[in-house]
């Protein structure tokens, strides 16, 4: 097998020629079913609409919604006309959205009306009040000077924002030849996607991924699952993550398989989709599988069509893996490990790996992927069986962080090795186990939460003198957020006032579930805060509550 040299659009065209009448995607909740021929036509029309709006090759288009059909089509339409899709976390609030739009230089924002009770329109108007005085859809914003246009995924009338039908109408003036010319100007090494992630600094960084990165990663992921055009992949994980748009959508499309899409995760909707659509593969983070398996109605659903799937996003509990195999029937379920900077998968278990390896490791490196485990202090490789920092090199490593050369240099050395910040052990058979993290990342239900980002925000509270954020173990989500706060002298402050301060400004999952007020932190002799002691104290504090 050799690496593909295709753009996202070329992958769709190839499978449309091979498989025109095969279902490309299904939305069971809405009764939407589209063949590869229809999928190709829809994404061509959408690509023309982007061109007709004046969006040039390389221009940045942000998208903010759950797994709507418009999100799916935009992923592949931008892949056909050369815009760069900037994915926005559905949980973002005003502060986070403004930062992303500024840092990414996004000229266009595609947005749904809202998500889980949060009005996206209200948030956009709060950071871009000029919209209220606009009659057309061209944006001029003081706080977001690069933003030119906002497109709503529905036909609701909103001042200063294009309705979806108005957006689609821009395709009318663009010919097939103009679209073809744009496509011919693209190469597989062009950046197609920017996904935001945070590092130890806590400030989100835009990971630039190319067609070559994500097309090949999706293809190899599907190869490891033994996907064919007869498979039907249930995708309830969010598209804004690489899990949804690469492990889900691209793994399916690079094999001509059918995407069975659940807009928002709900255990019964997932089980219903698997049963009704005879899904052969199911994706999810461990908490999703736990919710499905432990639902009181689980046994009412027939999941016998399942063969494979992916559990990833955070540490996969061995007992949960065993139940997915025995109770759901997904005998060839795989585990993936990686990070956004790696498109994202570095290692994966295979369907025919021994059961012990499939439930207790994250598998072996993908083809064309190099891995080494080093002593993080010396940079020297450690012996087999010894823990160290996992580093990786290959086609899958990002092009870099957008507008952040310093962070790119810190992440990738001059020989192309990317340091993951994760502690790993490789056994004598080449299987890898991830045992910890150098970075202080909190993983809550598959979502990465970076303490520094939450700390920086809480520092803006007028009564907070100092704050430290740590993760504490949680049965349901894996980890929860705990804040240790030193208040300013004489300040009136309590847990509820801290949470109220956070609401509407940072994602709900970043808002500390546990808050403890102290006068000082455990310190080293040199004056450094001993965060590991805070973690130990956090566990004791939570257990005693």
What are the tens digits of pLDDT across the range 406-430? 999 999 999 999 999 988 999 999 9
Taking the C-alpha atoms of residue 169 and residue 52, their distance in angstroms, rounded to an integer, is 9
34, 47, 42: which is closest to 7 by C-alpha? Answer: 47
Taking the C-alpha atoms of residue 221 and residue 250, their distance in angstroms, rounded to an integer, is 9
Taking the C-alpha atoms of residue 108 and residue 347, their distance in angstroms, rounded to an integer, is 35
Task: Report, in angstroms and rounded to the nearest whole number, the Rg of the chain calculated over CA atoms.
Answer: 23
Secondary structure in 3-state letters for 90-104: CCCCHHHHHHHHHHH
pLDDT band per the 50, 70, 90 thresholds, residue 66: very high
DSSP 367: T
The helix (run of H) or strand (run of E) holding residue 167 is helix 164-168
Report residue 72 as tokens. 């799916």
Beta-bridged to residue 369, according to DSSP, are: 394
Report residue 176 as tokens. 């097939």
pLDDT band per the 50, 70, 90 thresholds, residue 541: confident
Instruction: Answer whether residue 528 shows pLDDT above 70.
Output: no
% of the chain exceeding 90 in pLDDT: 78
Longest alpha-carbon distance in the chain: 72
Note whether 224 and 247 are within 8 A (CB): no
pLDDT band per the 50, 70, 90 thresholds, residue 436: low
In whole numbers, what is the pLDDT of the chain averaged over residues? 93
**CB neighbour list of residue 31: distance below 8 Å, 6 or more residues apart:** none
- pLDDT at position 525: 45
Instruction: Answer whether residue 310 shows pLDDT above 70.
Output: yes
Beta-bridged to residue 63, according to DSSP, are: 87, 110
Note whether 28 and 277 are within 8 A (CB): yes
Which residue segments constitute the domains of the chain, with CATH numbers given? 8-328 (3.40.50.12780), 442-544 (3.30.300.30)
- pLDDT at position 459: 85
Residue 235: cis peptide before it, omega within 30 degrees of 0: no
- pLDDT at position 385: 95
Note whether 251 and 223 are within 8 A (CB): no
- pLDDT at position 198: 56
- pLDDT at position 202: 56
Taking the C-alpha atoms of residue 194 and residue 87, their distance in angstroms, rounded to an integer, is 7
What is the pTM assigned to this prediction? 0.86
- pLDDT at position 204: 84
Instruction: Answer whether residue 201 shows pLDDT above 60.
Output: no
- pLDDT at position 74: 98
Secondary structure in 3-state letters for 126-169: HHCHHHHHCCCCECCCCCCCCCCEEEECCCCCECCEECHHHHHH
pLDDT in tens, 483-510: 999 998 888 899 999 999 999 999 999 9
Taking the C-alpha atoms of residue 182 and residue 48, their distance in angstroms, rounded to an integer, is 10
- pLDDT at position 318: 81
Tell me if residue 274 falls in helix, strand or coil: helix
Note whether 152 and 69 are within 8 A (CB): no
236, 179, 218, 171: which is closest to 11 by C-alpha? Answer: 218
Task: Give 320-327 contacts, CB < 8 A, sequence gap 24+.
Answer: 320/286, 320/289, 320/290, 320/293, 321/358, 321/359, 322/359, 323/289, 323/293, 324/289, 324/293, 325/355, 325/359, 327/293, 327/298
Higher pLDDT, 452 or 345: 345
Tell me if residue 109 falls in helix, strand or coil: strand
Instruction: Answer whether residue 199 shows pLDDT above 60.
Output: no
Higher pLDDT, 31 or 313: 31
**E strand map for 375-489:** 388-394, 400-401, 418-426, 432-437, 442-444, 447-449, 464-474, 478-487
Q: What is the mean pLDDT of residues 124-142?
A: 86
Taking the C-alpha atoms of residue 519 and residue 517, their distance in angstroms, rounded to an integer, is 7
Q: Which of 15-19, 28-32, 455-459 has the lowest mean pLDDT?
A: 455-459
Q: What is the mean pLDDT of residues 2-13?
A: 97
Taking the C-alpha atoms of residue 396 and residue 412, their distance in angstroms, rounded to an integer, is 12
Tell me if residue 480 falls in helix, strand or coil: strand
Note whether 228 and 252 are within 8 A (CB): no
pLDDT band per the 50, 70, 90 thresholds, residue 133: confident
pLDDT band per the 50, 70, 90 thresholds, residue 334: very high
CA 313 centroid distance within chain: 9
């Amino acid at each position: 097998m050799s690496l593909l040299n295709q753009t996202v659009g070329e992958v769709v065209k190839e499978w449309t020629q091979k498989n025109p009448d095969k279902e490309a995607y299904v939305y069971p909740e809405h009764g939407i079913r589209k063949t590869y021929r229809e999928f190709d036509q829809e994404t061509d029309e959408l690509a023309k609409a982007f061109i007709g709006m004046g969006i040039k090759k390389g221009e940045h288009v942000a998208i903010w919604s759950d797994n709507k059909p418009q999100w799916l089509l935009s992923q592949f339409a931008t892949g056909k006309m050369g815009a760069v899709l900037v994915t926005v976390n559905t949980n973002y609030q005003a502060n986070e959205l403004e930062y992303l739009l500024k840092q990414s230089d996004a000229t266009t924002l595609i947005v749904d009306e809202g998500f889980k009770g949060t009005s996206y329109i209200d948030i956009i108007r709060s950071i871009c009040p000029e919209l209220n005085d606009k009659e057309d859809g061209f944006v001029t914003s003081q706080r977001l000077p690069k933003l030119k246009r906002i497109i709503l995924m529905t036909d609701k009338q909103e001042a200063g924002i294009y309705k979806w039908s108005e957006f689609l109408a821009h395709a009318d003036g663009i010919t097939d030849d103009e679209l073809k010319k744009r496509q011919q100007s693209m190469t597989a090494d062009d950046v197609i996607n920017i996904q935001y992630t945070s590092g130890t600094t806590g400030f989100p960084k835009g990971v630039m991924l190319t067609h070559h990165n994500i097309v090949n990663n999706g293809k190899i992921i599907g190869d490891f699952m033994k996907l064919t055009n007869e498979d039907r992949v249930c995708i309830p994980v969010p598209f804004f993550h690489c899990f949804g748009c690469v492990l889900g959508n691209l793994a399916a499309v690079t094999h001509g398989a059918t995407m069975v899409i659940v807009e928002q995760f709900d255990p019964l909707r997932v089980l219903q989709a698997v049963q009704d659509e005879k899904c052969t593969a199911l994706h999810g983070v461990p908490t999703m599988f736990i919710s499905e398996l432990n639902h009181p109605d689980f046994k009412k659903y027939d999941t016998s069509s399942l063969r494979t799937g992916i559990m990833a996003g955070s540490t996969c509990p061995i007992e949960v893996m065993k139940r997915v195999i025995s109770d759901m029937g997904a005998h060839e379920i795989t585990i993936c490990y990686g990070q956004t900077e790696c498109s994202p998968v570095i290692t994966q278990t295979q369907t025919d790996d021994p059961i012990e390896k499939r439930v207790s490791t994250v598998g072996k490196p993908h083809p064309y992927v190099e891995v080494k485990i080093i002593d993080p202090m010396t940079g020297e490789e450690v012996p087999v069986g010894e823990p160290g920092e996992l580093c990786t090199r290959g086609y899958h490593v990002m092009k870099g962080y957008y507008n952040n050369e310093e962070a790119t240099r810190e992440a990738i050395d001059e020989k192309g090795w990317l340091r993951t910040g994760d502690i790993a052990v490789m056994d004598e058979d080449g299987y890898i186990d991830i045992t910890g993290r150098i970075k202080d990342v909190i993983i809550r239900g598959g979502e990465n939460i970076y303490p520094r980002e939450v700390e920086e925000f809480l520092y803006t509270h007028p009564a907070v003198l100092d704050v430290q954020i740590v993760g504490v173990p949680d049965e349901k989500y894996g980890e929860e957020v705990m804040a240790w706060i030193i208040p300013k002298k004489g300040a009136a402050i309590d847990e509820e006032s801290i949470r109220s301060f956070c609401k509407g400004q940072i994602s709900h999952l970043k808002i500390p579930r546990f808050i403890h007020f102290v006068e000082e932190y455990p310190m080293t002799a040199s004056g450094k805060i001993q965060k590991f002691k805070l973690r130990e104290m956090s566990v004791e504090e939570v257990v005693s509550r």
